């Protein structure tokens, strides 16, 4: 399969309803893969494939295509919420539209990706650095910049990241990706005056125990229910759950072995006694071969599919608050803390390098808050 395939996703309005158009240079293999994505249809009027629009769908499409190593252009969605929610009679104006990479740059990007992989960066990090570096190269094409300099990077940082008020995490990703690309190209640029901004100190979303139970009760499919229960009961990242193999489950010791997790670290986490009967029933029924959770034809279960599972379960449980698969991991940590588990043990179970990362859960735990007497009650 071609590694230099480019996919463009952009807004499509029809009868006052918004959809997502999916454009690509015609290729039968790419076409079949696009059509395999849930709810993708062909529009005779607009001569494009399209799917229903909702905010999470953009990320789902990005992940789905990046799995094939394809480059995804979603610049058309990098607009304000007001602009996205305003129907127009003509095709929406695409802001920050950048020219395509030239052939030589496409070759560089492919080599850069291989270089990052050899450095043993995680697949997600590789995809992110490749994506932001491709944007930078397209930006210098737009500005007719012939050689990379400190000034060109500062320009990109201001015009494409700071001025449009893109997120702090995105800005840090761009800076890191470009710096690695410079290392790859052996370009030595001194005094790059781009300060990494501090990350926003946002608290994680957490579900109550009753809400977690409602999600599990609403999930009837055995595979889906087992996967959600395992993520919560072991505090797993979704990537860790989907990379598990049957051999990683130690029923006798009540432990789960997580191999090469974030930071290329191995660790053990808990296997709930209450989950063992369900997990054994799942394994006996599905008989997973290589991976614990497999899709059709023994293919790896995708993160896109897993996100659709939690979204459906939340709807079935009638839970309106925003939650994702990672919310189950946050909830696991918070519930452990509220039950009196030492923060150091929680750090080990989650696989955090620093206790400072784990301490965030002390800010969302209600253990101490419920003991505070509200002055309003004495009025």
293 vs 227: CA distance, rounded Å: 8
Concatenated DSSP letters for 296-318?
GGGPBPPHHHHHHHHHHHHHHHT
pLDDT digits (tens, 9 = 90+) for 41-86: 888 877 889 988 877 788 889 888 888 888 888 887 765 444 444 4
146 vs 140: CA distance, rounded Å: 8
Question: 101-131: b or e for each residue (b if 16 or more CB lie within 10 Å)?
Answer: beeebbebbeebbebbeeeebbeebbbbbbb
Q: Which of 39, 43, 67 is nearest to 53 (CA)?
A: 39
In the numeric block, the tokens 């395939």 are attached to 5
- The average confidence (pLDDT) of the chain is 83
* pTM exceeds 0.85 for this model: no
C-alpha dist (Å) from residue 271 to 233, 253, 268, 349: 7, 8, 9, 11
Structure tokens at 233: 């009961």
Q: Determine the average pLDDT of the residues in 242-256.
A: 94
Contacts of 335 (CB under 8 A, 6+ apart): 209
220 vs 313: CA distance, rounded Å: 9
Neighbours of 260 (CB within 10 A): 12
53 vs 302: CA distance, rounded Å: 20
Q: Cβ distance 3 to 130 under 8 Å?
A: no
86 vs 97: CA distance, rounded Å: 19
Using alpha carbons only, how large is the chain's radius of gyration in Å? 23
Confidence of residue 159 (pLDDT cuts 50, 70, 90): confident
Question: Facing residues of 12 across strands?
Answer: 19
Known catalytic residues are 237, 262, 326, 329, 352, 361
pLDDT digits (tens, 9 = 90+) for 309-347: 999 999 999 999 889 999 999 999 999 988 888 889 999
- Does 90 score more than 50 pLDDT? no
Q: What is the pLDDT of residue 194?
A: 59
Concatenated DSSP letters for 186-242?
T--------PPPPPP-PPPP---HHHHHHHHHH--SHHHHHHHHHHHHHT--HHHHH
At how many degrees (to 10) do helices 325-338 and 222-234 cross? Answer: 40
Q: Which of 146, 137, 154 is nearest to 98 (CA)?
A: 137
- Does 179 score more than 80 pLDDT? yes
Q: Which domains does the chain have, with CATH numbers?
A: 6-184 (no CATH), 209-363 (1.10.443.10)
Q: Which of 353, 352, 304 is nearest to 329 (CA)?
A: 352
């Amino acid at each position: 399969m071609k590694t230099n395939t480019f996919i463009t996703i952009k807004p499509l309005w029809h009868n006052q309803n918004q959809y997502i158009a999916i454009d690509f240079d015609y290729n039968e293999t790419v076409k079949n893969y696009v059509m395999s994505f849930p709810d993708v249809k062909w529009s005779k009027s607009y001569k494009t494939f399209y799917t229903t629009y909702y905010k999470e769908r953009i990320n789902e499409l990005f992940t789905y295509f990046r799995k094939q190593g394809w480059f995804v252009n979603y610049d058309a969605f990098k607009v304000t919420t007001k602009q996205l929610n305003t129907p127009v009679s003509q095709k929406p104006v695409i802001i920050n539209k950048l020219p395509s990479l030239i052939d030589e740059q496409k070759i560089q990007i492919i080599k850069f990706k291989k270089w990052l992989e050899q450095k043993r960066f995680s697949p997600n990090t590789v995809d992110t650095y490749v994506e932001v570096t491709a944007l930078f190269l397209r930006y210098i094409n737009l500005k007719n910049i012939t050689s990379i300099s400190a000034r060109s990077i500062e320009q990109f940082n201001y015009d494409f990241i700071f001025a449009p008020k893109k997120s702090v995490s995105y800005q840090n990703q761009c800076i890191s990706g470009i710096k690695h690309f410079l290392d790859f190209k052996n370009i030595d640029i001194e005094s790059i005056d781009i300060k990494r901004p501090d990350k926003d100190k946002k608290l994680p979303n957490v579900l109550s125990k009753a809400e977690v139970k409602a999600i599990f009760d609403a999930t009837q499919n055995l595979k889906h229910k087992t996967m959600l229960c395992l993520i919560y009961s072991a505090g797993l990242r979704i990537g860790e759950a989907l990379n598990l193999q049957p051999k990683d489950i130690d029923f006798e010791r009540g432990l789960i072995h997580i191999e090469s997790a974030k930071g290329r670290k191995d660790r053990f986490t808990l296997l709930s006694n209450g989950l063992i009967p369900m997990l054994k029933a799942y394994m006996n029924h599905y008989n997973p071969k290589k991976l614990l959770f497999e899709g059709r034809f023994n293919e790896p279960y995708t993160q896109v599919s897993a996100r659709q599972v939690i979204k459906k379960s939340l709807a079935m449980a009638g839970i309106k608050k925003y939650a994702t698969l990672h919310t189950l991991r946050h909830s696991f940590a918070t519930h452990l803390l509220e039950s009196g588990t030492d923060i150091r043990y929680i750090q080990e179970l989650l696989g955090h390098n620093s206790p400072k990362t784990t301490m965030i859960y002390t800010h969302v735990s209600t253990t101490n808050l419920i003991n505070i007497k509200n002055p309003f009650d004495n009025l």
